[in-house]
Amino acid sequence: MVVLHVKRGDESQFLLQAPGSTELEALTAQVTRVYNGRLKVQRLCAEMEDLAEHGVFLPPNMQGLTDEQVQELKLRDEWGEKCVPSGGAVFKKDDIGRRNGQAPNEKMKQVLKKTVEEAKAIVSKKQVEAGVFVTMEMVKDALDQLRGAVMIVYPMGLPPYDPIRMEFENKEDLSGTQAALEVIQESEAQLWWAAKELRRTKKLSDYVGRNEKTKIIVKIQQRGQGAPAREPIISSEEHKQLMLFYHRRQEELKKLEENDDDSCLNSPWADNTALKRHFHGVKDIKWRPR
């Protein structure tokens, strides 16, 4: 199996493995789905952390308003009245004004937070360092865990406009957000390796050969962005270690030179007076030919 270290720009994303005979059309789709799936898990985790702290999303027409404005406009959070967390709510105001402040109790909060941490670990970039291959099945497992935790805490469900519910139903609206810039449409995705685009009409082996033990760094990006920057010959960590080695070597050579000078001046067989005068720039020493 060929090992693919997938990056976006210079940032590591995940490890994936595939046979060299894999069609690049299918491989590009697979990489893109895992990439976008991980982003979905990360978005859900961020929103569920807010859910644990401040309760469900307010209706769009109530977000950002003060209590006085809500009363003056006679607005009502009907879904918030229905979506009460298991075990009752604890009021914790959302200063941003996105959520209704009816937070789950401590026990239910921990259910959400523990599940969030477990899901984060599944799709973490640290999996690259650990040598763990991330699959779409793992991403789906993380999503299922998150969905299950929400159902435990909110058995009646969430409001239809809550971003968590919209993410689970694949109805999320990311327009105008930073998250929208991160997502890559499957039909527009490109894979690059060694400054070459991996054409969808070919196989992986057409580029990397028939060695199934090959490991390559693949970069994913949106079509039309041009070739990504090539990988440096040595990594930043290797460069750091190399500079440290040269610095230590220079210090060692400097000490050796100082020791040589001292031994030369203090040598019992040397004419110390002449040597010292010479090293202090004295020029009146006369040499006589034999």
Q: What is the pLDDT of residues 84-138, one digit of tens each?
A: 999 999 999 999 999 999 999 999 999 999 999 999 999 999 999 999 999 999 9
Spatial neighbors of 120 by CB under 8 A, at least 6 apart, are 41, 42, 45
Could you tell me the pLDDT band of residue 287, with boundaries at 50, 70 and 90? low
Structure-token match 């298991």, residue found = 86
Mean pLDDT on 47-56: 97
Higher per-residue pLDDT: 111 or 211: 111
Look up residue 115 and give its two tokens.
Answer: 């599940």
Residue 193 to residue 216: CA distance in whole angstroms: 7
Mean pLDDT on 264-289: 55
Q: Given the DSSP bridges, would you call strands 11-18 and 189-193 parallel, antiparallel or unpaired?
A: unpaired
182: amino acid identity, one letter: E
- The answer to which of 67-81, 161-175, 188-202, 268-282 has the lowest mean pLDDT is 268-282
Look up residue 243 and give its two tokens.
Answer: 């500079």
Task: Name the E strands within 147-267.
Answer: 189-193, 196-197, 215-222
Is the confidence at residue 277, as pLDDT, over 80?
no
Cβ-contact 27, 10 below 8 angstroms = no
Q: Given the DSSP bridges, would you call strands 215-222 and 2-8 parallel, antiparallel or unpaired?
A: parallel
116: amino acid identity, one letter: V
What percent of the chain is predicted at pLDDT more than 70?
86
Cβ-contact 228, 257 below 8 angstroms = no
Spatial neighbors of 279 by CB under 8 A, at least 6 apart, are 265
Higher per-residue pLDDT: 226 or 277: 226
Is the confidence at residue 288, as pLDDT, over 70?
no
Residue 15 to residue 131: CA distance in whole angstroms: 7
Q: If residue 104 lies in a helix (H) or strand (E), which one and from where to where?
A: strand 102-104
Is the confidence at residue 221, as pLDDT, over 60?
yes
61: amino acid identity, one letter: N
Cβ-contact 48, 104 below 8 angstroms = no
What percent of the chain is predicted at pLDDT more than 90?
71
| Distance set, CA 136 to CA 101, 115, 164, 256 (Å) | 35, 18, 20, 59
pLDDT of residue 118: 97
Is the confidence at residue 243, as pLDDT, over 80?
no
Q: If residue 150 lies in a helix (H) or strand (E), which one and from where to where?
A: helix 136-153
Look up residue 19 and give its two tokens.
Answer: 């046979």
pLDDT of residue 286: 54
Nearest C-alpha neighbor of 149 from the set 121, 113, 120: 113
Higher per-residue pLDDT: 240 or 223: 223
Look up residue 39 and give its two tokens.
Answer: 């982003």
pLDDT of residue 227: 75
pLDDT of residue 258: 76
CA 221 to chain CA centroid, nearest Å: 15
